[in-house]
Amino acid sequence: MEKPGSEEKIPGDYIVRKHGSSPIGTTLFVILRLLDLPLQYALLTQKLGAYILQLLRTRAVTPQITRTTVLDLTPYQLAVFAMAMGTTIKHIFWVLYISQLEMPVAAAVMIPTFNTVFNSVNSLLSICVLTSGYTPAYDDKSIFLSPTFAIGVLLYIAGMLLETISELQRKQFKGNPANKGKPYSGGLFAWASHINYGGFAVCRFGYGLVCAGWAWATVVVAWLGFDFGARAAPVLEEYCYKKYGDAYSKAVEKTRYKLIPGIY
């Protein structure tokens, strides 16, 4: 069983599971996540995005796009930028309030880098969609009538809520001294033992769906599902088995699904 304040590092895990503060790592994490926003804006306005796409030898980006007065973006681009902003706000809220673990410098660099790369690919793909000539509705407010767009936004919001609410429920449970040394399997975690991971995957699926359609969104959720199922979830379970022993085994037995209720 793990002693309070002890450090636990499981092979394949990106985070040292040790409770405590880490001002340097946390500050670096927040700065890097905030820097993602001006990058996504530069990509979406097509100044930087068009240059990168031309380097990649894609079709030329058509500059004649009707823009709004809000940040000089089209309604569609504004929605994509809002999704990038939502993931940034959620991450900062997580590291400053929800997470009780130390944030090593390596993790503080790796996690924001992964998200920035993912967001950047989404932004570039959204430019290709916007200028493809096959989706003229994406050039004006009628984009909000697109079923694919609507489904993507709903899944993005649903995934964000699943991830955030489940982690808040767990934090509240852990904050009660009476629950010290007990694993948490209530609230949304009663639906799936790693429902916060599932919520993240659903959120990213919706994000990818809005930016580039079903094929790209399927690739995203398949990769995340494999990573969570083959690496992240087993790593966390090994940690929890060592920390909680039989109590965790009994909690897991009561939960039928791992990531997404009704699916896996």
pLDDT tens-digit readout, 26-47: 999 999 999 999 999 988 886 7
Indicate the burial class of 206 (C-beta count within 10 angstroms; 0-12, 13-18, 19 or more). buried
Q: Domain limits of the chain?
A: 1-142, 146-264
Q: What is the mean pLDDT of residues 115-134?
A: 82
pLDDT at residue number 112: 95
Between 251 and 68, whose confidence is greater? 251
Please name the amino acid found at residue 40: Q
pLDDT tens column, 153-175: 999 999 999 999 999 999 999 98
pLDDT category, 21, cuts 50, 70, 90?
A: confident
pLDDT attached to residue 9: 47
3-state secondary structure of 141: helix
Give every CB contact of residue 164 below 8 A, 6+ residues apart in sequence. 90, 93, 94, 98, 199
DSSP annotation of 2: P
Q: What's the mean pLDDT when you consider all of the chain?
A: 82
**Predicted confidence (pLDDT) at residue 75 exceeds the cutoff of 50:** yes
pTM assigned to the model: 0.85
- Mean pLDDT over 63-85 rounds to 77
